[in-house]
Structure 1
Amino acid sequence: MSANGFSSPVHKPETLRIVHILRAPMGGVLRHVRDLALAHAKLGHEVGIICDTSGPAGYNEALLEQLEPHLSLGITRTAMSRSVGPSDITSTIKIRNLIKSLRPDVVHGHGAKGGVYARICGSLISTDHGRPARLYSPHGGSLHFDPASKNGKIYFIIEKSLERLTDCLCFVADFEANAYRSKVGTPKCPSRVIYNGLAEDEFEPITLADDAADFLFIGEMRMLKGPDLMLRALSRLKAEGAQNISAVMVGEGPDREEIHTLIKERELQTNVTLRPPMSARTAFSLAKTVVMPSRAEAMPYIILEALAAQRPLIATNVGGIPEIFGKAKDVLIEPDVDSLTARMRFASQNPDDFMARMPDHTDLKREFSIDTMSNWVLEAYYKAKSRRK
């Protein structure tokens, strides 16, 4: 893991009051925040979360309910719009007051909106210990935009202007750090790359259900994640003669209706089963091979979770995914229908050979652990707080 100047993770005796801010409590960002919050709470730190009121129903909300009893500063919900608009002024005032009431030593923003609120609102308050340390983790977010696009230009100007309010940038992958340097510029504030991590029990193998399907897609139902690519590949394989090919798609998202339409257009109603959000390990038992055909990513948890659970995985060569696969990155494909169809065909016809091409399980376990991640982030908090003093 790239520590960018850290000598080693160090546990400090000083108790911190830590507040995480994220807009949508869902997916990998929620998973990341949950793991950090629980790990630091177990070490005796006081932790809280501020997030949007409109979290997706089902698994994500259940996750928050399970998490809240462990957080001494609680979970506070307040409206945060996805796009930039006049409502941001009202939200900024509310979030500033919420942060002030929690008296944090550290404010950590996640995702583009969470990063804006954490740094601006964190700069507008002062606690008993002075102004809180302000950290930001993009998690992809605005970095997915094309720098030549109108939105990209706006967001990258905002990102650059907020650096002076940032005590540390925490990237989850070298790819993300490089994307920031390329699109925003070399950071003038301190920055670190700290990989996501998994718990010990997540490295245990999964037992398949007796009626397991051939393929599984799990994640947010949006075209960026490539669910349409999997459906088109399934359609081709079916046309080749695999009439009984089957798949399960788990998740919710803004493009779910388009996915429904595509299933009907491709006449895949008897081949594809749609399921609501559920835990990754539960979903992994539903199919023989996991398919994650993302068009863009940062450091996706679902990739780590599938490999840790020792599931064969078809994934794309985007974002920080090659960093997870390491020496096995040659097995990755481009996010297009031709490549995906060929790899799904190979995986179904040669399951043992395909599984043998997955990353080494021991290396994966050593590189991507929650303890390693939480220790490095905690060290970043102490260093940022020290600089604030």
Structure 2
Amino acid sequence: MSASATLSIASRPDATTGGVSPTSHRILHVFRAPVGGLFRHVVDLARLQAAAGHEVGIVCDASTGGERAAQALADLASSLSLGVVRVPMHRNPHHSDLTALRTLGERARVTGATVLHGHGAKGGVYARTARVTGAVPIRAYTPHGGSYNYKPGTLRHRFYMGVERLLALRTDVFLFESEYVAGRHRAHAGRPRLARIVHNGICEAEFLPVAPTADAYDLLYIGELRDAKGVPFLLEALANLRRKGRSLRLLMVGSGPDADLLAARVRAMGLGHAVAFEPPQPIRAVLARGRIMVVPSLAESLPYVVLEAAAAQHPLVATNVGGIPEIFGTAASHLVPPRDADALEDAIVRVIDEAPDARAAWFADLGASVQARFSMKRMGADVLSGYAAAFRARADARAVAVGVDQAL
């Protein structure tokens, strides 16, 4: 065993350290699908934490993400000293969950994990319920929206919020990615014992403006292809604009469970010649191919796609849902209500018809605001601060318990 490995193992919290925060963590990030903003968040955190001297590993689903995810994990390998384990994980409760939990528990034991950090609803369940023998790691949870986006009052929402109330008992620290999700938790699952708001952050290079190409599409959608993202309302707005004489074209970049249904809807609406579909690809190259990005979401947490477009000073129309107002800040009045194709249409026209200089100034101001508030370095530091607070809380609880025993 190397000297560095010995140091890391010796510094993990156990009965001899009293639960004090170690100088070097062994962190396992647990999540289901290596796709989208959640995956980007984990990748960024893993790199930041490895660069800060911590040992990092990943446990995620074996079947989603395809070649793009496999390549991203291969590119990340140098930062993952605790490796990658991929095991079947289903979105909804499934008998395979038992295998995944055993795999995670064993991986935590073998690696001597000091932190299990669950991301998303499924990753959060695994990280907080896996049985780990030996030293018990702290258990952190970042929801990324997930089950918090279900409509309040529905049977599904009540069920998942009941689960969250139970799992809160096994959560050392909540690291909410938006005030919106934190508020949903307080309202429907109770006030957490320990919580931090850790906004998603992006790197300095992403704040460079992106200029459109000469043959850019008029409108751009980037994200999952599913009805919950509000795509039908965007298509309706596009159809209305074209009927009114605006010959706009839309590029849709992404994949998802409703891809075929949406393609069929495009054809049925007579928009086949005005809408193009392309698979997921790096966002900055895609931003250059559209003049206005539209985010018609019905529910969100703190979407990276909005952060990335705003940082690039790209003209943007978005709905007033989830944590998007936190990104827009003082410009949140420009957001439109969800499920309203007419409001979406009006917002698109407003941006199109804005004088070029005024439009550029508008989105330059938004970019500067995002740059001041959503730093990747700050995100990484705030996550580590959350871990440290959890270790301190555990140490304090043990000290109190020892004091009670001595008093008795």
TM-score (norm 2): 0.88
Equivalence for 1:217: 221
* Contact 1:147–1:156 (CA under 8 A) maintained in structure 2: no
Determine if contact 1:106/1:385 at 8 Å carries over to the other structure.
no
* Separation of aligned partners in 1, 2:103 and 2:22: 32
What amino acid does structure 2 have at the position aligned with 1:178? Answer: G
Partners of 2:59 and 2:84 within 8 A in 1: yes
1:39-118 correspondence to structure 2 within 5 Å: 39-118=48-127
Q: What letter corresponds to residue 210 of structure 1 in structure 2?
A: A
Q: Which has the higher contact order (CA 8 A, sep 6+)?
A: 1
Higher Cα radius of gyration: 2
**Separation in structure 2 between the aligned mates of residue 384 and residue 69 of structure 1, nearest angstrom:** 28
Is the contact made by 2:203 and 2:375 (CA closer than 8 Å) also made in structure 1? yes
Computed over aligned residues only, the root mean square deviation of the Cα atoms, in angstroms, reads 1.6
Q: 1:239 aligns with which of 237, 243, 247?
A: 243
Residue 151 of structure 1: CA displacement? Answer: 1.4
1:144 and 2:149 aligned: yes
CA distance in 1, matches of 2:22, 2:97: 37
Q: Which amino acid aligns with 1:125?
A: V
Please report how far the alpha carbon of residue 360 of structure 1 lies from its aligned counterpart in structure 2 after TM superposition: 3.6
Distance in 1 between residues matched to 2:65 and 2:25, nearest whole Å: 30
Any idea what the Cα deviations from partners look like across 1:41-90, whole Å, max 9, x if unmatched?
11111011110011223544432221122211122101111111322223
Which among 378, 382, 385 is matched to residue 388 of structure 2? 382
Is 1:125–2:132 an aligned residue pair?
yes
Partner AA of 2:201 in structure 1: G
Structure 1 stretches lacking a partner, 5+ long: 1-11
Q: One-letter code of the match for 1:208?
A: P
String of CA shifts for 1:10-48, please: whole Å, max 9, x gaps: xx9811111100011111100111111101111111011
Unaligned runs of 5+ in 2: 1-20, 396-408
Displacement of 1:347 after TM fit?
1.9
2:285 corresponds to which residue?
A: 282
Structure 2 counterparts to residues 145-184 of structure 1, below 5 A: 145-184=150-189
1:126–1:132 Cα contact (<8 Å) kept: no
SS in 1 for 2:66: coil
* Residue identity in the other structure for 2:229: K
Structure 1: which amino acid aligns with 2:56?
A: V
Question: Is the CA contact (8 Å cut-off) linking 2:253 and 2:279 kept in structure 1?
Answer: yes
Q: Are the counterparts in 1 of residues 227 and 258 from structure 2 also a CA contact under 8 Å?
A: yes
Matched residue, 1:4: none
Partner of 2:36: 27
Distance 1:307 1:147 in 2: 30
1:297 is matched with: 300
The equivalent residue for 1:252 is 255
Equivalent pair of 2:310/2:366 in contact (CA under 8 Å): no
Q: Residues 97-156 of structure 1, C-alpha deviation per residue, up to 9 Å, x if partnerless?
A: 2222221111100001100000111xx2144xx210100011101101123222112111
What one-letter code is carried by the residue in structure 2 that aligns with 1:333? V
Aligned to 1:7: none
Q: Distance in 1 between matches of 2:276 and 2:67?
A: 18
Opposite residue 368 of structure 2, the aligned amino acid is: T
Tell me the matched-pair count: 372
* C-alpha contact (below 8 Å) 1:59/1:279 kept by paired residues: no
Give the SS at the match of 2:144: coil
**2:276 alignment partner AA:** T
Q: Identical aligned pairs, as a percentage?
A: 39
Look up the SS of the partner of 1:19 in the other structure. strand
Helix, strand or coil at the partner of 1:357: helix
